[in-house]
Amino acid sequence: MVKNKSRRAAEIEHPSGDPRFNLVDRTLKRFQYQQDALIEVLHTAQEVFGFLEDDLLIYVARQLKLPLSWVYGVATFYHFFSLKPQGEHTCTVCMGTACYVKQAAEIVAMLQAEFGVAPGQTTADDKLSVATARCLGSCGLAPVIVIDSDVLGRQTADSTLAEIKARLSGQIRARQLEAASANDEVEEMEAETL
Partner 1 sequence: MNRSDLQTLGERELAKQQSTGCRLLCCGSTPCLSSGGTAVQEVFKGILKENKDLKAELAVVSTGCMGPCSRGPLVRVQRQGEPDVIYEKVTPELAQEIFKKHVSGEDTNQAEANILPGDIPFFSKQKKVVLANSGLIDPERLEDYVAQGGYMALANALREMTPEEVCSEIIDSGLRGRGGAGYPSGLKWNLVRRAKTDKKYVVANGDEGDPGAYMDRTLMESDPHRVLEGMAIAGYAVGAEQGFIYVRGEYPIAAKRLEKAIRMAERRGLLGSRVMDTAFNFRIDIRIGAGAFVCGEETALMASIMGRRGQPIPRPPYPAQSGLWGYPTLINNVETFGSIAPIINNGAEWFAGIGTAKSRGTKIFALAGQVENTGLIEVPMGISLREIVFDIGGGVPNGHTFKAAQTGGPSGGCIPADYLDTPVDYDSLRELGSIMGSGGLVVMDDTTSMPDVAKYFMEFCMDESCGKCVPCRVGTVQLYRILERVTAGIATRNDLTIMEELCTMMQETSLCGLGQSAPNPLLSTLRYFRHEYEALIKDDLPLTSDRFALATSSVLPRQEVS
User: Which residues are near partner 1 by CB under 8 A?
Assistant: 34-40, 42-43, 73-74, 76-84, 95-102, 118-121, 131-142, 144, 150-154, 175, 179
CB of 171 to partner 1, least distance (A): 18
CB of 1 to partner 1, least distance (A): 26
DSSP bridge pairs for 146: 92, 151
| Nearest residue (CB) to partner 1, 13 versus 194 | 194
CB of 179 to partner 1, least distance (A): 6
| Nearest residue (CB) to partner 1, 23 versus 74 | 74
Burial class (CB in 10 A: 0-12, 13-18, 19+), 145: buried
CB of 119 to partner 1, least distance (A): 6
Question: Chain-centre distance of CA 120, in angstroms?
Answer: 13
CB of 13 to partner 1, least distance (A): 23
CB of 14 to partner 1, least distance (A): 21
CA separation for the pair 12, 20 (Å, rounded): 15
| Nearest residue (CB) to partner 1, 8 versus 80 | 80
Name all contacts of 162-171 with Cβ < 8 Å and 24+ positions apart.
164/89, 164/91, 164/111, 164/115, 164/128, 167/89, 168/89, 168/127, 168/128
| Nearest residue (CB) to partner 1, 132 versus 160 | 132
| Nearest residue (CB) to partner 1, 73 versus 116 | 73
| Nearest residue (CB) to partner 1, 53 versus 150 | 150
